[in-house]
């Protein structure tokens, strides 16, 4: 359910929780990203204004087998609410069991389902962006999740791509199926799996999906190429989507959510952090990481991948950048941060695309996957992993 301002720009998005409707205002959602959207990063984005913040993707099989690392991945940060978990499965029974577990043990307030991951280790098993091609299988999995979540009052949403490639687009049919089954919204990353993360996303597909689902009343959220607050507002204006989902744009830039909130509120002045402000966000990220992993060494090791994103566009010597990439303790991290010189935010570089830029390539699929779209067979993934 959504509501709009007099100007027609979407201002709020409703998530129907068991405890009552949660208003996501403005409707800005942190996308699940492999190895990124753990509790520390979600906390940073929440502090900067994200309205909803989804966990890294976890497999239903790994969850019901109670694998230690999988259970860690769904633990919320302090004060994190609603607790959003993204699930993956290619098997309806496993999905039903995982959702039931989350409900019975009160481990989630919202469940998102991944039908958009394009990476080969997922699609070669018939998962992620490959799965909606199998109509009956897709319907069975979504139905299993919605029905299992209903007794607990947990809303279920789906995230998908346009399709496998331009010859096998699935988003309109799959989204209508999901809407008719009772999902709360559909989020569309406006690229095919074949595109991976290259080129520009097709916002026109978001517009088409909005119109396609209008008779159902199910909102559509848009995802793809949101690098600034103005991008998010423009997507809403151009496509009519009910909200935006932000992924790669916030890598090393959790303040993108502050920018998005300001844009959705109609503010024209952007608050972009100086390097001194950025360094304090970086240190807070480090502290949260160490607390989350209960290990200074592991927390700092996981933090390293964020360094280049945080410092992108700022004038920092190559020697110092290398040291950031090897940081092993908070004391060392603080000493490195104190060597940075104050600088204004580098808008030209800071608002540019970042993160994964994988070039398009043929999608890796199970043998004979494209032969019959009504076939039910699929292969369950055995290992826990994250996907985007």
Catalytic residues: 117
Strand order across the 2-4 sheet: 2-4, 10-17, 20-24
Measure the CA–CA gap between 137 and 140, rounded to whole angstroms: 5
Tokens representing 246?
């932000």
Measure the CA–CA gap between 339 and 334, rounded to whole angstroms: 9
Exposure of 150 by Cβ count < 10 A (0-12 exposed, 13-18 middle, 19+ buried)?
A: middle
In angstroms, what CA-CA distances link 79 with 12, 32, 46, 75? 22, 19, 10, 11
Q: Give the DSSP per-residue string, 240-267.
A: --SEEEESGGGTT-TTHHHHHHHHHTT-
Q: Report residue 294 CA to chain centroid gap.
A: 25
SS3 87: strand
- The count of other CB atoms within 10 Å of the CB of residue 82 is 19
Classify residue 85 by its DSSP letter.
E
Question: What are residue 290's phi and psi, to 5 degrees?
Answer: -65, -40
In angstroms, what CA-CA distances link 112 with 141, 171, 230? 12, 16, 26
In angstroms, what CA-CA distances link 214 with 170, 208, 218? 18, 10, 7
Q: Which helix (H) or strand (E) holds 12?
A: strand 10-17
- The count of other CB atoms within 10 Å of the CB of residue 347 is 12
């Amino acid at each position: 359910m959504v509501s709009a301002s007099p100007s027609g720009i979407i201002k709020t998005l409703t998530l129907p929780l068991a405890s009552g409707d949660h208003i996501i205002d403005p409707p800005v959602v942190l996308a699940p990203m492999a190895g990124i959207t753990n509790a520390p990063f979600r906390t940073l984005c929440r502090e900067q204004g994200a309205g909803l913040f989804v966990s890294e993707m976890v497999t239903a099989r790994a969850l019901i087998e109670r694998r230690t690392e999988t259970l860690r991945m769904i633990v919320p940060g302090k004060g994190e609410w609603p607790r959003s978990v993204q699930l993956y499965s290619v098997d309806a029974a496993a999905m039903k069991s995982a959702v039931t577990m989350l409900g019975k043990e009160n481990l989630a307030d919202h469940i998102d389902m991944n039908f958009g991951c394009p990476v080969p280790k997922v699609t070669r098993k018939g998962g992620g962006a490959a799965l909606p091609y199998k109509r009956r299988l897709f319907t069975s999995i979504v139905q299993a999740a919605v029905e299992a979540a209903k007794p607990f009052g947990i809303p279920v949403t789906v995230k998908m791509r346009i399709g496998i490639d331009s010859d096998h687009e699935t988003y309109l049919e799959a989204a209508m199926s999901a809407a008719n089954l009772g999902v709360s919204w559909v989020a569309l990353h406006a690229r095919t799996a074949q595109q991976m993360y290259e080129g520009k996303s097709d916002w026109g597909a978001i517009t088409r999906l909005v119109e396609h689902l209008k008779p159902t009343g199910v909102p559509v959220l848009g995802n793809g190429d949101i690098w600034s607050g103005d991008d998010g507002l423009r997507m809403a204006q151009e496509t009519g989507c009910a909200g935006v989902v932000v992924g790669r744009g916030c890598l090393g830039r959790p303040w993108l959510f502050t920018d998005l909130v300001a844009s959705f509120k109609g503010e024209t002045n952007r608050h972009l952090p100086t390097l001194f402000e950025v360094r304090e966000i970086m240190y807070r990220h480090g502290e949260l990481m160490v607390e989350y992993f209960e290990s200074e060494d592991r927390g700092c090791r996981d933090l390293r991948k964020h360094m280049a994103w945080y410092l992108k566009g700022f004038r920092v010597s190559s020697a110092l950048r290398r040291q950031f990439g090897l940081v092993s303790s908070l004391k060392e991290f603080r000493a490195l941060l104190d060597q940075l010189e104050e600088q204004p935010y580098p808008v030209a570089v800071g608002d540019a695309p970042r993160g994964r830029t994988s070039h398009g390539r043929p999608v890796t699929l199970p043998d004979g996957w494209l032969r019959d779209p009504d076939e039910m067979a699929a292969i369950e993934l055995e290992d826990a992993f994250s996907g985007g």
